[in-house]
Chain A
Amino acid sequence: MLGDYAAVGVLLAIVLTIPIGGYVVTWLLRPKRAYPLKQQTYECGLETTGDTWVQFKVQYYIFALIFVVFDIETVFIYPWAVAYKQTGLFALVEMMIFILILVMGLAYAWRKGALEWV
Chain B
Amino acid sequence: MDIIYDPFRVIGDALRGLLGGFGLPDWAVQLIMIVIGVSVLVVFAMLTMMFLTWLERKLIARIQDRVGPNRVGPLGLLQPVADMVKLFTKEFIIPTNADKVIYYLAPIIFVIPAFMVFAVMPFDRHAIISDLNIGWLYIVAIGSTSTIALLMAGWSSNNKYALLGGMRAVAQFVSYEIPQVLSVVGILLLVGSLRMGAIVEAQNTIWFVLLQPVAFVIFLLSTISEINRTPFDLPEAESEIIAGYHTEYGAIGFALFSLAEFINMFAASALAATIFFGGWQGPILPGWLWFLIKSYAMVFVMIWLRGTLPRLRVDQLMNFAWKVLVPLSLVNLTLAGVGVSVMNYYGWQLSSLPGVLFAFGTFLVFNVIMVLLFLALYRTPKVERRNVVLVKQASKSRPQTPAAASGR
Contact = CB atoms under 8 A, between A and B. Distances in A.
A34 B155 CA distance: 22
B169 interface: no
A92 B67 CA distance: 55
Nearest to A61: B171
Interface in B131-187: 131-133, 137, 155, 157-161, 163, 167, 170-171, 174-175, 177-178, 181-182, 185
B108 A39 contact: no
Given A7-B119, A92-B341, A19 B95 contact: no
A19 to B, nearest CB: 4
A108 interface: no
A100 to B, nearest CB: 9
A105 B104 CA distance: 40
Interface in A1-22: 3-8, 10-12, 14-16, 18-20, 22
Interface string A21-43: 01101110111111010111111
B193 A26 contact: no
Interface string A70-92: 11001001100111110011001
B339 to A, nearest CB: 10
A73 B408 CA distance: 62
A115 B323 contact: yes
A61 B389 CA distance: 31
A41 B115 contact: no
A79 to B, nearest CB: 10
B159 A81 contact: no
B130 A30 contact: no
Interface in B231-256: 242, 247-248, 251-252, 255-256
Interface in B107-122: 107-108, 111-112, 115-116, 118-119
Given A7-B34, A29-B88, A63-B175, A43 B161 contact: yes
A29 B90 CA distance: 8
A7 B129 contact: yes
Contacts of B315: 116-118
A56 B182 contact: no
B337 A96 contact: yes
Interface stretch (B12-20, B279-287, B325-333): B325-333
Contact of B242 (A10, A15, A42, A52): A42
Interface stretch (B36-44, B358-366, B394-402): B36-44
B200 interface: no
Nearest to A88: B344
Most chain A CB neighbours (cut-off 10 Å) among B170, B242, B333, B337? B337
Interface residues of B, number: 83
- Name the residue among B159, B160, B314 with the largest chain A CB count within 10 angstroms: B160
B82 interface: no
A15 to B, nearest CB: 4
Nearest to A86: B192
A41 B119 contact: no
B403 interface: no
Given A39-B96, A40-B95, A41-B158, A6 B108 contact: no
Nearest to B260: A19
Residue from A3, A5, A25, A67 having most chain B Cβ neighbours under 10 A: A67
B167 A60 contact: yes
B159 A11 contact: no
Contacts of A56: 167
B130 A95 contact: no
Contacts of A115: 318-319, 322-323
Contacts of B192: 82-85
Contacts of B129: 7-8, 11
A10 to B, nearest CB: 5
A86 to B, nearest CB: 8
B178 A92 contact: no
A54 B158 CA distance: 10
B188 A26 contact: no
A34 B333 contact: no
9 contacts: A4-B132, A8-B116, A10-B31, A11-B38, A11-B119, A14-B42, A78-B188, A84-B189, A84-B192
Given A26-B251, A31-B91, A77-B182, 8 more contacts: A7-B37, A11-B42, A19-B256, A38-B93, A41-B97, A53-B155, A77-B185, A96-B334
Interface of B: 30-31, 34-35, 37-39, 41-42, 46, 87-97, 104, 107-108, 111-112, 115-116, 118-119, 129-133, 137, 155, 157-161, 163, 167, 170-171, 174-175, 177-178, 181-182, 185, 188-189, 192-194, 242, 247-248, 251-252, 255-256, 314-315, 317-319, 322-323, 326-327, 330, 333-334, 337-338, 340-341, 344-345
> What 7 pairs across the A-B complex have the smallest Cβ distances?
A7-B130, A81-B188, A117-B315, A26-B252, A19-B108, A15-B115, A117-B318
